[in-house]
Structure 1
Amino acid sequence: MYMKILSLITVAFMTVSASSSAENIYADVQVTELKPTTNVIWKRKNPHTPKYPIELANSGIRGCAVLSFEISASGKTESVEIISSVPKRKLGKSSRKMLQKWHWTPTSKLTEPAAEKRTLRLDFCIDGDSTEQAEEACKQQTLISCK
């Protein structure tokens, strides 16, 4: 299982206010590098946790998506392909849209930037009464297959 070779690059939390109620929804998004995990040419320009899509939070949608994409020689995300997504339709579509907005910066100034093929997993978790509980739910979720 390729989860053993994962390199967790981002874990953070956010509180999403649901428009239909006064209570908070605690959500976590984790980004896990799948391929390559070492010697990468590019890193995300904004390393902060991606924002949990409001429409997913309001609907209580949680799950994961594995995406393949290319980073162009100019640092733009291109050719995003959904490899798998649970649940399929909404989460895959939201993940693709999110990833297409990312910009990248070279990891080294010593080499000329080149295009790079990447695969990553996005985990979307909503759970509990605190960010800590959402984090724990997402840690457990990353151990589950995303198929």
Structure 2
Amino acid sequence: MKYTIAGSLIVLLLGCTSTSHQSSTEYGVAERVQLSDQQKKTLERFPPKYPTRVASSGIEGCATIEYVVTPDFEVQDVNTLVASNPLFATEAQKVIKKWRWENLASDFKTGPLKFQTRFEYCLENGSGRCSMNTLLNKTQCSGNDVVPSVGMQM
């Protein structure tokens, strides 16, 4: 009886996995970090293109993308965590690779870094409905690091 209980506990404990904020890459373990406001400016981030097909249909939405940037400033392991439309995820993934990661050279001294960015796609109608404060309060996609892509309603 003791061995059955002990064996069950061991199997149960081996089945548990810890959730880490790190992931392995060819450069080693990538540490999950958040960009400071200064780093965001230095990086020269710009918004993704608003997909014409969904903009002309009046569709708004979001995409949350997780990715690793290596010490060589390569973007790897790009994953869509959530997206209200696959076209939003595609455009978000494209723009991440165009950002000027080499501007943050001093931040990559310790190895690869993992980031998560939320992209909010909003169609402005002149009322201010696409302000950053409004977009930050949206909850369809997760993430505190928000990059807006604002289109115009026709």
> What's the TM-score once normalised by structure 1's chain length?
0.56
Equivalent residue number for residue 84 of structure 1: 82
**Equivalent residue in structure 1 for 2:117, among 96, 117, 120:** 120
* Percent identical residues: 17
Over the aligned positions, Cα root-mean-square deviation in angstroms equals: 3.3
SS in structure 2 opposite 1:105? Answer: helix
User: CA distance change for structure 1 residues 58 and 70 in 2, over 3 Å: closer, same or farther?
Assistant: same
Conservation of the 8 A alpha-carbon contact between 1:64 and 1:85? yes
Cα distance change, pair 58–76 in 1 and its aligned pair in 2 (3 A) = farther
Of the two, which has the highest radius of gyration? 2
Opposite residue 142 of structure 1, the aligned amino acid is L
Match of 1:74 in 2: 72
State the TM-score, normalized to the length of structure 2.
Answer: 0.54
**Offset at residue 106 of structure 1 (A):** 5.2
C-alpha spacing 1:48/1:102, structure 2 compared with 1 (3 Å): closer
Greater fraction helix: 2
In terms of fraction of residues, the more strand-rich structure is: 1
What are the ranges of 5 or more consecutive residues in structure 2 without an aligned counterpart? 1-31, 142-154
CA distance in 2, matches of 1:109, 1:139: 31
Structure 2 residue identity aligned to 1:129: G
Higher RCO (Cα < 8 Å, 6 or more apart): 1
**Counterpart pick for 1:146 among 115, 140, 144:** 140
What are the within-5 Å matches in structure 2 for residues 1-147 of structure 1? 36-37=33-34, 46-55=43-52, 56-86=54-84, 88-105=85-102, 107=104, 109=106, 112=109, 114-129=111-126, 133-136=128-131, 138-147=132-141
User: Which amino acid is 1:61 matched to?
Assistant: I
